[in-house]
Amino acid sequence: MILGIDEVGRGPWAGPLVVGAVVLGGAQIEGLTDSKKLSAKKREILDKEIRDKAAGFGLGWVDALTIDEIGLSKALVMATKMAVEQIKSPYHEIIIDGTVNFLAETSKGKFVTTMKKADLLVPCVSAASIIAKVARDDYMARQDDIYPDYGFKKHVGYGTPAHIVAIEKLGVTPIHRLSYAPLQKYRDMKIPKKIVEKDVEITTKIIGDNAETVASKFLKSKSHEILDRNWKTKYCEIDIVSKLNDTIYFTEVKYRKKPDQGGGFAAITKKKLNQMRYAANFYVSANNLQGNNLRLAAISLSNTPSVVDDYLEID
């Protein structure tokens, strides 16, 4: 029961810093190693397996603006604490990749061992490296939809020649780290409000994805088998499809930043119920699952990191 910790995104000129934390808890996962030694496809496969099998995992995010405000060292400490706070499973030791104990000023600091190349040598640290890398790469790939012509999907924020050319031509964005020496000359540049709002939308999407992961783990704890997540067609979508015995559940995930914001179930209107029923029948037909009982459900979550507030079986 070792908690492995690794960071991704220390050196890029743009994008967030992400720290991964994983307790494998005896889970046997083949192919774990330093995420940089794996292909993108292999990382994505392992990321799903880690999330499904690990006893606990967490991700700590610190955005570019915060890095500029507090500095990289404090950002690493902040992201590490955020990731560790999400681990609810027991562990008796902590291994952090590298030479710095980012938990030194906390009560957990005395249980930490720092180790060079731990992401290559210790399975749980390798797993932390992989989930952090996949999460950050996915975030940067989304930036191509918001900031065309920067090539974020390819260089994920690093100072490549293509990235430098794009900055010189187009300027900087809200996800650029203006405290980094090559970008400090852009500190006084005004960024259009619409661009800032779009970046907030992407951050919200990441929070929503994390909430769905927590909701999936909740259903698994109730012995559900997860059949699909984010199942979408041109006509409808379903957050989570799961099966328990001979019943297939179609679950809507509703996240609110704070539990006092009306609760997620407030959004389950009569119109929404009709949409969910349509989507459930569409899914069953498309996947030849006739003969099973069908039930709609909803999970309400709040806070950061997300926690389940309530679970409701509708019909």
Convert the pLDDT of each residue in 264-288 to its tens digit: 566 677 888 888 888 888 888 888 8
The domain spanning residue 294 has which CATH number?
3.40.1350.10
pLDDT at position 10: 95
First to last CA, the chain: 40
Q: List the single range of 110-124, 249-263, 273-287 with lowest mean pLDDT.
A: 249-263
Q: Which of 232, 233, 204, 230 is closest to 216 using CA atoms?
A: 230
Q: List the single range of 11-15, 206-210, 303-307 with lowest mean pLDDT.
A: 206-210
Q: Which of 86, 112, 143 is the last residue of a domain?
A: 143
The answer to whether residue 83 sits within a structural domain is yes
Top pLDDT among 273 and 116 is at 116
Q: How confident is the model at residue 150 (pLDDT cuts 50, 70, 90)?
A: very high
Q: Is the pTM for the entire model greater than 0.75? A: no
For residue 53, give every residue at least 6 positions away whose Cβ sits within 8 Å of its Cβ, in sequence order, or none. Answer: 24, 27, 29
The answer to whether residue 32 sits within a structural domain is yes
Q: Which of 126, 143, 160 is the last residue of a domain?
A: 143
The domain spanning residue 122 has which CATH number?
3.30.420.10
The answer to whether residue 167 sits within a structural domain is no
The answer to whether residue 152 sits within a structural domain is no
The answer to whether residue 199 sits within a structural domain is no
Mean pLDDT of 176-203: 70
User: How far is it, in rounded angstroms, from Cα 251 to Cα 242?
Assistant: 8
The answer to whether residue 203 sits within a structural domain is no
The answer to whether residue 171 sits within a structural domain is no
Total tally of structural domains belonging to the chain? 2
Based on the fold, state whether residues 136 and 228 are members of the same structural domain: no
pLDDT at position 190: 59
Based on the fold, state whether residues 20 and 136 are members of the same structural domain: yes
The answer to whether residue 197 sits within a structural domain is no
Residue percentage of the chain with pLDDT more than 90: 58
Range of the domain at 37: 2-143
Q: Which of 125, 143, 161 is the last residue of a domain?
A: 143
